[in-house]
Amino acid sequence: MLVKEYRICMPLTTEEYRVGQLYTISKHSHQESEKGEGVEVVKNEPHEDPVHGPGQFTEKRVHLSSKLPSWARAVTPRIFYITEKAWNYYPYTITEYTCSFLPKFSIYIETKYEDNCGDSENIFHSDKILGDHEVSFLDIAFDEIPERYYRSLEDPRFFSSAKTGRGPLREGWRQHTKPIMCSYKLVTVKFEVWGLQTRVEQFVHKVIRDILLIGHRQAFTWVDEWCGMTMEEVRRYERETQEATNEIIGMVAPTISVSEVGQPTATHSAPASAPSTPLSDEAPDFLAPPKARPRKKSAPETLTLPALRERASAE
């Protein structure tokens, strides 16, 4: 297995990001879905943990068949999805990704949120980590992402929030920006196949890095859309987008409970959920000759949700 820790600072408070995270995940999942493809919400219900207390459990299926690159479609079933299970005990969350087609592959992500600039050491106190692990600071404004996901409106270097007055972000912004918070993510990738393990695990971490940058950039540059929403309002928005997304995918939408608290449901051994980014059409390094991958510094092209936004405005 390959373990890395990512630290992503945001010009927000942890309480603000609690709402912003839920909004961003819901909107991004809806945008990435189309008929028969995308993120299907299977469960979204209150959950009680004996250690972490009350939280929210979600289970999703990320349908990827048509979005897989050609080299992957050749070796996967016609109907292909990844299962995401997430336990949200904010400000602590766990997310787990598995695939029935690849039983030796899994991703496990522990996340903690704190109001600081990423200077908390050994925040996870994890006995599962053998030896030292790599710690990477991701800069939402100046770290590079693949060029195909760039959108100028979602570039933190140019974005200025009309509601909060925050942004644009300049060089060294993490040292002087207030408020500031940090997402600490301990990511464990396993692919226990002899001869491929190291290269696959390294490739998956590269993909995760891009997803984390894109998702956190969107959360900040969409701040004027979710700023001022209460938890009740964002949960309602989450429910509406989940139902709309399931309808787009063509599934029968399950009854979804999005209550913030409630009686304990069936026990789920504990993993919050990150936006799903389409995979590259290029084969990874271990399946194709190396290629120069142009990259730019900002966020991906996105769509809008006019119907849902009009409904939210009317309310």
262 lies in some domain: no
If we measure between CA atoms, which residue out of 61, 58, 7, 23 comes closest to residue 39? 61
Place of tokens 């936006």: 275
Give the CA count within 13 Å in the CB-facing half-sphere of 17: 26
Which pLDDT does position 210 carry in this prediction? 95
The answer to whether residue 273 sits within a structural domain is no
Helices 231-249 and 306-314 pack at an angle, to 10 degrees, of: 150
Rounded to whole angstroms, the Cα distance separating 243 from 252 reads 9
Give domain status of residue 87, yes or no.
yes
313 found inside a domain: no
Per the domain annotation, does 126 fall within a domain? yes
Q: How many CB atoms lie within 10 A of CB 286?
A: 12
Is 291 among the domain residues?
Answer: no
- What's the pTM value of the predicted model, to 2 decimals? 0.78
Q: What is the pLDDT along the chain (315 residues), one digit of tens a residue?
A: 999 999 999 999 999 999 999 999 999 988 888 756 788 899 999 999 999 999 999 999 988 765 555 655 566 665 678 999 999 999 999 999 999 788 899 999 999 999 999 999 889 976 555 557 899 999 999 999 999 999 999 999 999 999 999 999 999 999 999 999 999 999 999 999 999 899 999 999 999 999 999 999 999 999 999 999 999 999 999 999 999 988 888 754 444 444 444 433 444 445 444 444 434 444 444 444 445 455 554 434 444 444 544 555 555
pLDDT score for 313: 54
Q: How many domains does the chain have?
A: 1
Q: Domain residues for 140?
A: 2-247
Say which CATH number the domain at 210 has. Answer: 3.30.530.20
Is residue 60 included in any domain, yes or no?
Answer: yes
Answer yes or no: is 264 within a domain.
no
Q: What per-residue confidence (pLDDT) applies to 249?
A: 81
